[in-house]
Chain A
């Protein structure tokens, strides 16, 4: 099973509309990262959330961390074509040994329609 579930998997939104992407963990979260990826390119760091209830904003993108629900949401206000891409959440999870570093969700493909 996937430790980090992102929803929706894909999203088509009309330009100017708001949208929300969710990332839910099946294991205890120790920190959560949001990245954006343009198709076939590298990942661009957006935000890092470490404490429950923490909320951060960057331009029109806001992310929150709900530690109790082990969930984070990414909200884009008044979407623009430049927001299109793949949004990935990555988290530090207690996996009981094995890989260090971030575990990633499968990503949310965001398309902005003019």
Chain B
């Protein structure tokens, strides 16, 4: 089944404790992206990747890192999480650029205490 998977689906952590949210797609998509969704602010792009070893900042990249060592994986790294990073995170992928239909993962709900 073609899909985008994220892990974990739910995470509660404390300020400053490094964490990684994994994202994997099995559709051989070149483009992958991370969004966060917050009440009243909608979906905002954090980082995106056009292909392996190519990553770029989105609208709200501060406090996040990403890597794209393999085509299928695009982990989101929070080196020192803070409470303002409490949010619902979505990974998405598409065949080429972000202007194509994007397939979204199920979301990761992160709470930083």
Q: Is A31 an interface residue (CB 8 A)?
A: yes
Alpha-carbon gap, A98 to B58, bound state (A): 7
Q: Is A48 an interface residue (CB 8 A)?
A: yes
Is the interface on chain B under 10, 10 to 19, 20 to 34, or 35 or more residues?
20 to 34
Alpha-carbon gap, A14 to B72, bound state (A): 43
Interface residue SS majority, chain B: strand
* Contact indicator A106/B90 (Cβ below 8 Å): no
Please, which residue of chain B has its CB at the minimum distance from the CB of A93?
B99
Q: How does the 8 Å CB contact mask read for A40-62 relative to B, with 1 for contact and 0 for none?
A: 11111100100000000000000
Q: How many A-B residue pairs have CB under 8 A?
A: 70
- Chain A hits for B58, CB < 8 A: 98-101
Closest beta carbon of chain A to B105's beta carbon, Å: 6
- Chain A hits for B59, CB < 8 A: 98-99
Q: Is B45 an interface residue (CB 8 A)?
A: yes
Please, which residue of chain A has its CB at the minimum distance from the CB of B109?
A40
Which residue in B41, B43, B92, B99 is a CB contact (below 8 Å) of A31?
B99
Q: Is A112 an interface residue (CB 8 A)?
A: no
* Contact indicator B105/A105 (Cβ below 8 Å): no
- Chain B hits for A107, CB < 8 A: 42
* Contact indicator B101/A45 (Cβ below 8 Å): yes
Closest beta carbon of chain B to A99's beta carbon, Å: 4
Please, which residue of chain B has its CB at the minimum distance from the CB of A43?
B104
Closest beta carbon of chain B to A27's beta carbon, Å: 14
* Contact indicator A100/B106 (Cβ below 8 Å): no
Closest beta carbon of chain B to A3's beta carbon, Å: 10
16 A-B pairs in the complex with CB atoms less than 8 angstroms apart: A30-B99, A41-B107, A42-B106, A45-B102, A90-B43, A92-B98, A99-B48, A99-B58, A100-B50, A100-B56, A101-B33, A101-B45, A101-B99, A104-B42, A106-B42, A107-B42
Binding site for B on A (CB under 8 A): 2, 30-31, 33, 35, 40-45, 48, 88, 90, 92, 98-107
